[in-house]
Amino acid sequence: MARSVHIRIYTIRAGLLDEWVDRWQRLVVPLRRDLGFEIHGSWKDRARNQHVWVISHEGPESFEEANAAYWASERRKSLGLDPDDYLVGEETREVEQTL
């Protein structure tokens, strides 16, 4: 199966950008990696109060199947991190690498 790459743009509640990124890095990134995802980078856009990151997955299952398994995992449920507490907007783009 081909690698699926997503750019994710999260708009964060005012005043919570640093807290969100810190918790995301400590809690979400290790779990995503353990479940076969690769994180290609993460950026803060302070002017727009956004967190931008790039994630990919390559494996026998589709990105959507792997993502569903991530959300259904007991480890994800036990993180104590509810995106609704931080995010006011989310945009996901599936992209193809050209270079």
84 lies in a domain?
Answer: yes
pLDDT at 65 over 80: yes
Its domain, for residue 29, covers 4-94
Residue 99 lies in a domain: no
Residue 22 lies in a domain: yes
Summarised one tens digit per residue, pLDDT across range 7-63 is: 999 999 999 999 999 999 999 999 999 999 999 999 999 999 999 999 999 888 889
C-alpha to C-alpha distance for 94 and 56, rounded to whole angstroms: 9
User: Is the per-residue pLDDT at 99 higher than 70?
Assistant: yes
pLDDT at 3 over 90: no
Q: Closest Cα to residue 42, out of 27, 30, 53, 26? A: 53
Q: Are 87 and 67 in contact (CB under 8 A)?
A: no
Mean pLDDT of 60-77: 94
- Res 91: pLDDT: 98
For residue 26, give both structure tokens.
Answer: 């400590």
**The pLDDT value given to residue 2:** 63
Domain count, the chain: 1
Domain of 19, CATH number, reads 3.30.70.100
